[in-house]
Amino acid sequence: MDIVEEVEIECPQCGETFPIDVETTQPRLEFIQDCVVCCRPMTLRILCEPGAVVEVNVAAA
Ligand SMILES: [Zn+2]
């Protein structure tokens, strides 16, 4: 089983989308990610089950 899933996230600041890799071994992830386009930080809250990303929430940090 592939535990790393790629998901597209949309920057709340500039509206661009870009992919990130998510390790699905943890049911809940919360971390700060800098936008690759505008470099502003956002808070990601991601729900996973092993091998799949269930839900992604993005908020300006
Ligand atoms: Zn951005």
* DSSP code at position 18: E
| Ion ligand 1: residues, CB < 5 A | 11, 13-14, 35, 37-38
- Residue 8, phi then psi, degrees to nearest 5: -90, 130
User: What separation in angstroms does the CA of 21 have from each of 7, 47?
Assistant: 6, 13
Give me the pLDDT at residue 40, please: 97
- Measured in Å, residue 1 CA sits from the centre of ligand 1 at 32
Residue 2 has pLDDT above 90, yes or no: no
- Measured in Å, residue 50 CA sits from the centre of ligand 1 at 29
What are the boundaries of each domain within the chain? 4-60
Which of 46 and 61 is assigned the larger pLDDT? 46
Q: Extract the tokens encoding 54.
A: 């269930």
Residue 22, helix vs strand vs coil: strand
Q: What angle do CA 57, 36, 3 make, to 5 degrees?
A: 55
**pLDDT tens-digit series, residues 10-44:** 999 999 999 999 999 999 999 999 999 999 999 99
- Measured in Å, residue 49 CA sits from the centre of ligand 1 at 27
